[in-house]
Amino acid sequence: MDTPTLLGIGVVALILVMSVVGTILKRKAIAKGNEIGARRSADRQSGKAGTLGETVVINAPVDVVAGLVAPILTGTWVTQKSPTEWTQKMYHDDDITFRIAPVADGSEVYVAETIEFMGTVNGAKQWRRFRERIATAAAENGLGSRAGQRHLVRSHAVQNDDHVWIAR
């Protein structure tokens, strides 16, 4: 074989090898990117779920706390479902559920459930504001309060095509 033919075969072989290597490298890069993205998303989700798990424990019976909380949990997007339960609309009705439950040293106001909309647990900012207002109202009424904690876990339940996180 003469030199131009060998050179042509070499160029074709190099092109084929580069396309195979490029495909392999692209797959590895995509897989690594997906892995890093999933890890960051999980970290972000657990952080928001942790914030939503923060509660307010007030040293008073449930009915007293319900009277204290009712004026705070009001507005266009908030609906009272029972004397001790409210829901807030973010994207759909009942996206976030707030409840009051009796505990050993009074009553606990907490997020009972929330949705994960487009990969994000919703309501952390609103819940922080509500918690601050509830604690302030308790202090203004001479009631002791403290921070509590519940754990929100992602359940298998789906509501409006969104995963539901539930307080445990």
For each of the chain's 168 residues, which pLDDT tens digit applies? Answer: 688 888 888 888 888 888 888 888 888 888 877 776 666 665 555 555 668 889 999 999 999 999 999 999 887 788 889 999 998 887 666 788 999 999 999 999 999 988 877 777 778 888 889 999 999 999 999 999 999 998 887 877 776 667 788 888
CATH assignment at residue 65: 3.30.310
Task: Give me the pLDDT at residue 63, please.
Answer: 93
User: What is the Cα–Cα distance from 48 to 152, expressed in whole angstroms?
Assistant: 9
Residue 87 counted as domain residue: yes
Residue 10 counted as domain residue: no
Residue 34 counted as domain residue: no
User: What is the Cα–Cα distance from 94 to 83, expressed in whole angstroms?
Assistant: 16
Task: Give me the pLDDT at residue 65, please.
Answer: 94
Residue 118 counted as domain residue: yes
Beta strands at 145-149 and 85-88: parallel, antiparallel or unpaired:
unpaired
Task: Give me the residues paired with residue 13 across strands.
Answer: none
- How many domains is the chain built from? 1
- Which domain, by its residues, includes 131? 42-167
Residue 109's closest CA among 68, 77, 75? 68
Residue 30 counted as domain residue: no
Contact call for residues 112 and 94 (beta carbons, < 8 A): no
Task: Give me the pLDDT at residue 43, please.
Answer: 56
Residue 117 counted as domain residue: yes
Task: Give me the pLDDT at residue 46, please.
Answer: 56
Residue 32 counted as domain residue: no
Residue 9 counted as domain residue: no
Output the 3-class SS for 11-70: HHHHHHHHHHHHHHHHHHHHHHHHHHHHHHHHHHHHHHHHHHCEEEEECCCHHHHHHHHC
Exposure on the CB side of residue 96, measured as CA atoms within 13 A: 23
Task: Give me the pLDDT at residue 21, please.
Answer: 85
| Both structure tokens of 23 | 């495909």
